[in-house]
Structure 1
C-alpha cells in the first residue's frame, strides 16, 4: 500500500479552489487565493489538488480511446449509453457528457496549475528545492492536461495564467502550434526543476524522468500525420528529439525490465520498476479508489463472486472487447488472460461468451464499493518508452537501428511467451503495442499518430458491427472530438465548432 496518497483525493480540502465547468466561471478569485497560500504546506496541498484532476483519466481513456478504437465494440443493448455515439462515430457528440468531462476536468486542472504558479513565491516557500519541485510538478501537470486536450480537440483556448471572467470571454481557441509551444516550454522547465526520484513517503509524484518520457511522446505526436485538419499531428519530424529523450530514460533512469506481465498490474506490486508515472489510487475509505475495474466489467460477472467485494460492483452494462483484438493474440500469449475475461457463467446459469477488460481487476481484493478499487493506473511504462523508441527509429530517427527495434519487440514477446521476430515493421510494432497496452488507453492515439487510423478503422467497422449501428467508414474529421456545446454558447462566436460536427 502506498505511503503517499498523491492524494488525489486530499484535493477535496481544496474545494475553495475549485472552479465550475463553464468558461465564464473559470478563474479563481484573488481574495480566495491570497487567503489560502501562506506557507509551503499550503502549496503542497494545492499541488496535490492539481494532481487531483488525474482521477478521471482512466475512465476517460477507456471511453474516448479504447471505445473509439478497434479494441472495443461499445454498442449497448439500448443504444442510449453515453459511449454509444463515441463508439458509433456519429456527428452529434457536442452534447455528450463524456466529451464535456474531457474538456471540463482538463481545464479545471489547468486552472489549478495556473493558480499555484501565479502564487508561488520565495517569500512564501523560501526553500529553493521545495519551491522548484512544486513548480516542476505543476508545470508537468499543466502540460499533461493541455496535451490531453490537444489530442482530443485540436485547437483549444490557451490560459498560461489566472484570468478574470472578462478576460476569459475574450480568449479564442489558439492554434495547435501555440498550444504545443506551452506544452514544450512547461515540460522542458519541469525536466530542469524536478528530482529524478523521491523517498518512500513521496512515491508517486512526477519525476524528471517522467517529464522526459512525456516530452518524447509529445515529439512523436507532433511528428504525426496532419490528416488535413487542426488535430494533434503537425508533421514536425521530431523523431530524433524523441529518440534522444527515450534513450536517456532507458539507459539512465531508475527503471528496469519486469519479467512477469501479470505482476506489472498486481495490487501487491504497485510502483514496480516498469512504472514511469501513474495515477495513484488507494483503498480503505470510499472515494480514494478508482472505479475503473467495475466500470470495465459487468454486473453479471460481479454477481458470480463472493468474498470481500461489495456488490453490486457495476451499474452499467459490459462493453465488449472486440473479437478482432482477442483473435489477434497468438496461441499461448500470456497477456490475453491478464487483459481479457473471455467468458463466465452468471448465477442463472447463462454462459456469457463476450469478453471484457479485466487487466485492473483482482477478485481477491477487499473492496468497499464500486468506487474503491485500490489499483494504480499506468500513464507511462518503461515498456511503452522502449516501444516508442522502436517507433521513433522506424519513423526515421537518426542513431537507431533495425536490430534495436527487433530486440525491443522480442523482449516484449518473450515476456508474453512468444517466439521472436525479425525485421519488425511499423505495422508489426503497432500490432504488438495493441496487445501489450490493451485497456490502457493508448490505442486510438497510436493509430492517429502513425497515420493508420482511417485504414484500420475502415477495415474493422463492417466486420465488428453486429448491431449495424456504426458508420460504414470513418470520417477523417473524427480524428478529434467536437467542442462541447456548452462552450460554444458561453459567448456567441468565441469558438467555432470542429469540422464534421
Structure 2
C-alpha cells in the first residue's frame, strides 16, 4: 500500500484544500463532493487520502510523548526551541506549534473520514460491491477512531464531530466529556474489528486490518483503565483489563504475527524490526507507510526529528532539520544493563564536527545513514511502526499484572522473551514497575514512554523524582497532575469566546 496511501493525494487533496487548517473551517461542499464520488475508485482514493492524514503522526509522538517524558532532557544549547516548553512543563504553551499541530491535523483527519462516511451514505450506490463498501466504511471508522484516540490522550475532553459540518456549525460544538468521546471511539473500533479483513492482497498491504482494530481497541480499554489523577484526562479508573486481554489474545492466537528472534550468535533481530529492507516484517501489526521520490514530496520526516544536524554533517550528509541536540536523559542511559544490545542501536553517544566534540547522547533509532535523502529532508524511505507484536505481548503482561486472567509465569515468559532478544538474563516474579522499565528500553525513541507513564499511574512519582536529579540546568518547572494532558490550543479558544474552557493548570 506504500503507493496507494499517497499516490492519489496530489489530485484528491484539492478537494480538501478548504479545510486543511482549523476545526472551524468549512468542509468541502456538497456540490464538489458529489461530482467527485462517481465511481468505486473515487471512494478508494478518498479513503487513501484519509490515511495520508497519518503522515505526521510519528513526528507528533516524538515531539509530544518522547520529549515530554523522562527519556529526554531536552534543554536548548542555542536559542529557544519549541520542544523546551514541552519537556520542561511550562504552563504557557497553548500556542506551541507542536500542540497546535496535534489538534489541527487530527481533526483534519476526522473531517476526511467523516466526508468519506457521509458520501458512502449519500452516493454509495455506485459501489455495487457491498463487501468493498463495508470495508471502506470500516477503514474510515478505524481512522476516525485513531485520530480521536490520539486527541483524547493529548487533550482530554473533545468536541465530537461525526459528520461534515459547515463553519458556523463547527463553531457551536462544545467539548464532550471524555467518557462520551471514548464511547464514540469504541463504537467505531467495534465496527472496524467486525468488518475489516484479517489481511490484504499485496497491492493493499498496509491498510488497517481486523487485528489492527483489535490492538487499538485493547489499548483504548487499557488507557481508560488508567488512573484519573483528578483531571479530565484519558484515564477513567475503569477496570477493563480483561476486555483488553481478550482482544490481545485474539491477535496472538491468530498466528499472523511473531517476534523477530536472534539466530545463533547473531544479535540483529532487534535492529531488523526497523530495517529499511525489512518493512512489513512479522512484527508489524499496523504501520504508517510512505512513498518517496514523487512530487510533491511524500516521504517520512520522523527519522531525523530527534537527531541534531551536526551529526549528519559530521558524516558528510546534508542537514535534515533536527537543529540542535535533544539529549537522551542520563536517567535513561543509566537504566540500560551492560549487555543490552538495544542501547547502541537506539542511541548515539558523542561525535566530533569541526573540531567540536559532542559528548551528549541522542536517539538515532530510525536512521540508516546510507539512506539519508539527498534531494529533500522530507523524503526518508522508511515506514513507521505504530503497533508491533512485541507491544501486543507486553500489553498482555500489563493486563495480567493489573488483575486480568493469567499467571505470573505468563508475565515472566513474555518479559524474558523480550530480554532474551536483548541478550539479557531472565527475571522472575516480574512486577509492573519492572515491566514498564523494560518497555521503556524496548520502545525507547518510539514515542510510547509518556503514554506508558500516564496509563500505568507512574507519572506522578517518576517525573518529579526525575526532574529533581536530571535538571542540572534548573530549567524545568515543577510537575503537577494537570500536566497529564496538554492545553487546548489558544487558536481554538479564540475561534469563539466561551466555546471551550482551557484545561486546568494552563
CA distance in 2, matches of 1:404, 1:13: 51
Residue 352 of structure 1 is matched in structure 2 by: 358
> Is 11-20 or 116-125 further displaced after alignment?
11-20
1:385-404 equivalences under 5 Å are 385-397=392-404, 399-404=405-410
Query: Match of 2:8?
Result: 10
Matches within 5 A, 1:385-464: 385-397=392-404, 399-464=405-470
Counterparts of 1:127 and 1:248 in 2: how far apart (Å)? 28
Whole-Å separation in 2 of the counterparts to 1:167 and 1:188: 28
Check the 8 A contact 1:8/1:55 in 2, yes or no. no
Provide Cα deviations, 1:222-280, integer angstroms capped at 9, x if missing partner: 00000011100011210000000001101114101201101000000001000100111
Corresponding residue SS for 1:17: helix
Q: Distance in 2 between matches of 1:155 and 1:48?
A: 28
TM-score of the superposition, structure 1-length normalised? 0.96
Residues 251-260 or 383-392, more deviating = 251-260
> In structure 2, what is the Cα distance between the partners aligned to 1:254 and 1:20?
37
SS at match of 1:321: coil
Partner SS for 2:305: helix
> In structure 2, which of residues 471, 476, 480 is the aligned counterpart of residue 475 of structure 1?
480
Could you tell me which residue of structure 2 aligns to residue 266 of structure 1? 275
Residues 255, 275 of structure 1: 8 Å contact kept: yes
Q: What corresponds to 2:39 in structure 1? A: 39
Counterpart CA distance in 2 for 1:256 and 1:329 is: 25
In structure 2, distance between residues paired with 1:457 and 1:9:
43
Partner residue in 2 for 1:82: 82
Q: CA RMSD in A?
A: 1.3
Match of residue 298 from structure 1:
308
1:37-436 matched pairs, under 5 angstroms: 37-78=37-78, 80-121=80-121, 122-259=124-261, 260-285=269-294, 287-306=297-316, 309=317, 311-314=318-321, 316-346=323-353, 348-365=354-371, 367-368=373-374, 369-397=376-404, 399-436=405-442
Range with greater deviation from structure 2 (363-372 or 225-234): 363-372
Distance 2:4 2:230 in 1: 40
Question: CA shift at 1:462, angstroms?
Answer: 2.0
Tell me if structure 2 keeps the 8 A contact 1:184–1:215: yes
Q: Which moved more, 1:17-26 or 1:488-497?
A: 17-26
Question: TM-score of the superposition, structure 2-length normalised?
Answer: 0.95
Distance 2:170 2:455 in 1: 31
Distance 2:147 2:213 in 1: 13
* Number of corresponding residues: 493
- Cα offset, 1:315, TM superposition: 5.1
